[in-house]
Amino acid sequence: MRSRLLWRRSATAAGLYSAVALGIVGTVIASRVLGLESFGVYATALAVASFFQSLLDLTVEESLTKFGFRYVAAEDWGRLHRLLARALELKLLGGALGSIALLLLAPFANELFGSSGLTAAVLAAAALPLVQSPENVAATVLLLRGRYDVRGAYMAFSMALRLTAIAIGTQIGVWQTIALIVVAQTIATAVIGVLGLSAFRRFPSAEHAPLGEDRRGIVSFVLQSSLATGMLSLRGTLSPLLLGIVAGPTQVGLLRIAQAPQGGLAAASSPVRLVLLTEQTRDWEAGQERDVVAGVRRYMAAAAGLMIVAVPVFMITMPWLVRVVFGTQYESAVTAARIILVAAAVQLVLGWTKSLPVTIGRPRLRIVTHGIETLVLLPLVLVFGLEWGVTGAALAILVSTLVFAVVWAVVLVRLAREVDERHTARTATGVHTA
């Protein structure tokens, strides 16, 4: 059993790291083949698509993970079937709204960002939110079966399709590249749909049962998760758009290059975060709350030790890396990349902050923490971006990340105290805890 668990964790890491490597190669190809200005249009159009996809999508996968594990543990298959059906319906609705928003924005994109080519690029990306919308529901079913290794392999497959689309499309033009990315995503969604359906059919069949007293909790969870995701959308996708408005699409392209360290370090922790989400949610539902908090502390200590070694190395080699990987035309992104490297290191140490609120059933924590982070970030992007372009945007990211870290430090201390108090109370009353 232990060897099987180790194999699945290793396979998950291999799949996710392969996906990241393929994504980086795709960015390198797009930046080199399209050139500085066209790559800026490409990056801006995808940022617009990501923004509306995240903003209008209902984040049901987190409640699906939390309550799904609860129903699996209780063998309440009727409620599990009902929950999955409603989740899929909501995801499709959110995807459709995102696509409609892109179609409405597209005619004004050139004027909004002060650059030609964006209208066609945004139109090409319009179908992306809809065709991608069922993906996370199917992937969550795999998590409920404990098959995060299959999800990792799917991510690698999906990014391989996207890389192929980029390699072909960049030989033709920007909007053609994005159109082929939509085709690649359609194929990938179909594949994960088949995998998710196969995993779903391994649960015992049952008639849909009303969610009953859980309905209010699930609806609240979905709304809070969606609001938190909206905050993430504002942080991750609106900030490049604001930079594009005040400084132009070329600066957005440079920001995409400068964020390479951020993407790389986020990817480095993604297998661990996926395992944490799956296993810690299961442990929390089993009453092993202190083990969950201890696991978070171990993760932070290991991540901080790794960053103390890695950050100085990448800080020194950053100019060489940018020149070799992306080309000399992107050298003006070096300072911004160094700044974002520091922010990315802090974010890696805090990688557990995305999964823990789901694990403990408090999605509002993400709303508060990301809300504060976003309130700091967006005004600074406008002010600093107008003054210093991509370097100013990088500074805004660093400042907001540090604020985010301070807020979560306070939250974790309070959570640990609550868990210890509950454990002490149960011990005093003779209630067994794991």
| 29-73 pLDDT tens trace | 999 999 888 998 998 899 889 888 877 777 777 777 778 878 887
Query: What pLDDT score was predicted for residue 318?
Result: 94
Clarify whether residues 355 and 238 are in a common domain. Answer: yes
Clarify whether residues 119 and 223 are in a common domain. Answer: no
Query: What pLDDT score was predicted for residue 6?
Result: 66
Most confident of 234-248, 342-356, 364-378, 387-401: 387-401
User: What is the C-alpha to C-alpha distance for residues 176 and 179, in angstroms, rounded to an integer?
Assistant: 5
| 89-141 pLDDT tens trace | 888 888 899 999 999 999 999 988 877 889 999 999 999 999 998 888 888 88
CA-to-CA dists, residue 265 to 17, 21, 347, 353, 382, angstroms: 11, 12, 8, 15, 26
Clarify whether residues 208 and 223 are in a common domain. Answer: no
Clarify whether residues 307 and 328 are in a common domain. Answer: yes
Domain stops at, among 212, 242, 269: 212
Domain stops at, among 167, 182, 212: 212
Domain stops at, among 212, 242, 268: 212
Clarify whether residues 197 and 288 are in a common domain. Answer: no
Question: Does 423 score more than 80 pLDDT?
Answer: no
pTM of the entire structure?
0.69
Clarify whether residues 23 and 171 are in a common domain. Answer: yes
User: What is the C-alpha to C-alpha distance for residues 341 and 367, in angstroms, rounded to an integer?
Assistant: 25
Clarify whether residues 230 and 159 are in a common domain. Answer: no
Closest CA to 154 of 55, 70, 274: 274
Clarify whether residues 184 and 263 are in a common domain. Answer: no
The torsion angle over the Cα atoms of residues 258, 259, 264 and 266, rounded to 10 degrees, is: 150
Task: Report which residue type is found at 399.
Answer: V
Clarify whether residues 246 and 182 are in a common domain. Answer: no
Domain holding 40, by residue range, is 1-212
Clarify whether residues 143 and 261 are in a common domain. Answer: no
**Which has the higher per-residue pLDDT, 100 or 82?**
100
Query: What pLDDT score was predicted for residue 381?
Result: 93
Query: What pLDDT score was predicted for residue 166?
Result: 96
Clarify whether residues 229 and 292 are in a common domain. Answer: yes
Number of domains in the chain: 2
Clarify whether residues 170 and 234 are in a common domain. Answer: no
